[in-house]
Each structure stands twice: as structure tokens, then as C-alpha cells.
């Protein structure tokens, strides 16, 4: 049985706990939240997963696997120390790697601990195909993230647009994956994931769109290279608890955890 520490207990984290209930090969034994969120998390977890330890740091012992579902800041704060101690980590906030030097820090921490950090595919598919295509050489990769206006609230998109009054689609960002992930840390993790699997953070073109005509999170990837070309379009259902986040991200995290425990993984 793998003992899991979960960082973050919001929309993704609480759904992961629900899905892992009764799993014979994995048990969430600790949940890490910020100091100021400890009391609220304790109340929530008493109902959701009684007996789980609630803490403001990953316990230094008794943890076989860490999964981050918290946000960019949690990588420096919790993932790096866990890796240095030798605990493997699964990361959802892939956009954090848009900060200069963080990918290298993660690699060094994992090497120091003799372990591995895994970046999950999250809300997007075809990461395996893209990463394989990169080996033959890629010419161009374009990613478009299209979400309903409410998903862009609390982001820089608020400044230029009255999101409640949009009548048609608006391109709220156009630029590199690095800029997108840094400016939209809760909405452009997929941009970072696509870029890290493909042409890199600076050469991957990204467009982010607020579209009042949709109620799904629509992700499109167009890639071209020596392998040929592909176009992927995903229409993801958002989580009720957070319209910025697609439900598929939860399933992707659970898949990554179950694969760690499985004798045969796909």
C-alpha cells in the first residue's frame, strides 16, 4: 500500500481523495494546506477522509509518494524538499516550470534524492504523441485554450474586458507558453505541459480565449513535424467547485497515482 501525501485540498485535491477511497493499493494519509487553511481543511477532511493527517508541510517520514494539486507556489515550498528527501512527486501545477530555473531545480532535487518528479498531462491529451514526435523533430506547435468568461475571472483578463458582458469571443492572450503560464497560473498549465512535451516554453505559440458561447473548457493542439501532423481538440467539463479546472485533471492525477502502484501500467 503506497502512503500518499496530497498537497492542496481544493477542487482537484478533494475529488482525488473521493476517487481513491477504498483503493487497495493507495491511501492518502496526509493533506498539506497553507497555515491559514488548516482549520477549514480539518473540518472538510473530518467528513471526507477521517483519520487523515492535516499539516502545513509534507511529513518528513511515512510518505511513499507526494501529489501536488495546490498551485505554482507549492512546488518550491513542498515538492522540492520532498524530492531532496527521496520521495517521488507527481505535479499538476506544471505551469510553475515557466519560472526561469525551476525545471532545473526540480531535476537537481530529484537527482539529489535519487527519485523522480512526474508532470501529469492534466486537462490535455496526446502528450505521449507530442513527446514522441519531438524525437523525430517538430516544426510548429500551437495551443489554444478556450474557456467560458467566468473561468477567466480573477486573472489579467479582468482588466481589459467586462467578462460578464461579453457578447462574442475575445482573445485575451497571444504569445509564448512561458508568458501564458506565468500570467495565468490557474488557467494555462496545459500551455506549459504542451510546450514541455514539444517545442519548449519559448517556441510554443499560445492563444487564450474567453468565449461566452461555450460551457466547456476547450483545448486545441496543432502540431507539425517529421512525424506528420495532428490536431487535437478536447471539450472538457469543468469541475463544479472550480470553473477554471477541468474534471479530466482529477482523473489524470488519479491515473498517475494508480500507475505508481500497478504491476501493469497504461
Ligand X SMILES: O=C([O-])CC(=O)C(=O)O
Ligand Y SMILES: NC(=O)C1=CN([C@@H]2O[C@H](COP(=O)(O)OP(=O)(O)OC[C@H]3O[C@@H](n4cnc5c(N)ncnc54)[C@H](OP(=O)(O)O)[C@@H]3O)[C@@H](O)[C@H]2O)C=CC1
Residue 209 found at the interface with ligand X (CB under 6 A): no
Closest contact distance (angstroms) between CB of 41 and ligand Y is 7
User: What is the four-CA torsion angle of 189, 254, 3, 87, rounded to 10 degrees?
Assistant: -30
Size of the site for ligand X (CB under 6 A): 12
Which one of ligand Y, ligand X, none interacts with residue 213, CB within 5 to 8 A by kind? none
Closest contact distance (angstroms) between CB of 264 and ligand X is 28
For residue 252, the number of C-alpha atoms closer than 13 Å in the C-beta half-sphere is 26
Q: Is 72 assigned a catalytic role?
A: no
Which one of ligand X, ligand Y, none interacts with residue 15, CB within 5 to 8 A by kind? none
Point out the residue whose Cβ comes nearest to ligand Y. Answer: 10
Closest contact distance (angstroms) between CB of 198 and ligand X is 15
Q: State the residue for C-alpha cell 474586458.
A: 161
User: Taking the alpha carbons of 81, 84, 90, 92 in that order, is the dihedral positive or negative?
Assistant: positive
Is 242 annotated in a binding site? The answer is no
Q: How many residues make up the chain in this entry?
A: 266
The CA distances from residue 144 to 20, 175, 177, 199, in Å, are 32, 11, 10, 15
Q: State the residue for C-alpha cell 471526507.
A: 48
β-pairing, 26-32 vs 2-7, is: parallel
Give whichever of 76 and 216 is closer to ligand X, judged by the CB atom.
216
Which one of the spans 46-54, 157-165, 180-188, 206-214 is the region binding ligand X (CB under 6 A)? Answer: 180-188
Interface residues toward ligand Y, by CB under 6 A: 7-13, 32-34, 37, 69-74, 77-78, 92-95, 122-123, 185-186, 189-190, 193, 242, 245, 249
Residues with a catalytic annotation lie at 219
Amino acid at each position: 500500500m503506497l502512503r500518499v501525501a496530497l498537497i492542496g485540498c481544493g477542487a482537484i485535491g478533494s475529488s482525488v481523495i473521493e476517487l481513491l477511497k477504498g483503493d487497495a493499493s493507495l491511501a492518502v494519509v496526509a493533506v498539506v494546506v497553507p497555515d491559514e487553511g488548516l482549520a477549514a481543511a480539518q473540518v472538510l477532511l473530518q467528513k471526507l477522509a477521517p483519520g487523515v493527517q492535516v499539516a502545513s508541510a509534507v511529513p518528513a517520514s511515512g510518505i511513499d509518494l507526494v501529489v501536488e494539486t495546490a498551485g505554482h507556489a507549492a512546488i518550491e515550498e513542498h515538492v522540492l524538499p520532498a524530492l531532496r528527501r527521496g520521495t517521488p512527486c507527481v505535479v499538476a501545477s506544471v505551469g510553475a516550470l515557466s519560472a526561469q530555473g525551476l525545471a532545473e531545480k526540480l531535476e537537481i532535487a530529484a537527482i539529489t534524492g535519487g527519485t523522480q518528479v512526474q508532470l501529469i498531462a492534466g486537462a490535455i491529451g496526446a502528450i505521449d504523441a507530442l513527446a514522441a514526435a519531438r524525437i523525430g523533430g517538430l516544426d510548429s506547435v500551437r495551443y489554444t485554450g478556450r474557456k467560458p468568461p467566468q473561468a477567466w475571472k480573477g486573472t489579467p483578463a479582468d482588466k481589459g474586458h467586462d467578462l460578464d458582458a461579453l457578447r462574442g469571443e475575445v482573445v485575451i492572450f497571444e504569445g509564448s507558453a512561458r508568458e501564458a503560464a506565468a500570467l495565468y497560473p490557474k488557467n494555462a498549465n496545459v500551455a506549459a505541459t504542451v510546450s514541455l512535451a514539444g517545442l519548449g516554453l519559448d517556441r510554443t505559440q499560445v492563444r487564450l480565449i474567453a468565449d461566452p458561447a461555450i460551457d466547456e473548457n476547450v483545448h486545441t493542439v496543432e502540431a507539425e513535424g517529421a512525424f506528420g501532423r495532428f490536431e487535437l481538440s478536447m471539450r472538457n467539463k469543468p469541475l463544479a467547485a472550480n470553473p477554471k479546472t477541468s474534471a479530466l485533471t482529477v482523473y489524470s492525477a488519479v491515473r498517475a497515482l494508480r500507475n505508481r502502484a500497478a504491476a501493469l501500467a497504461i
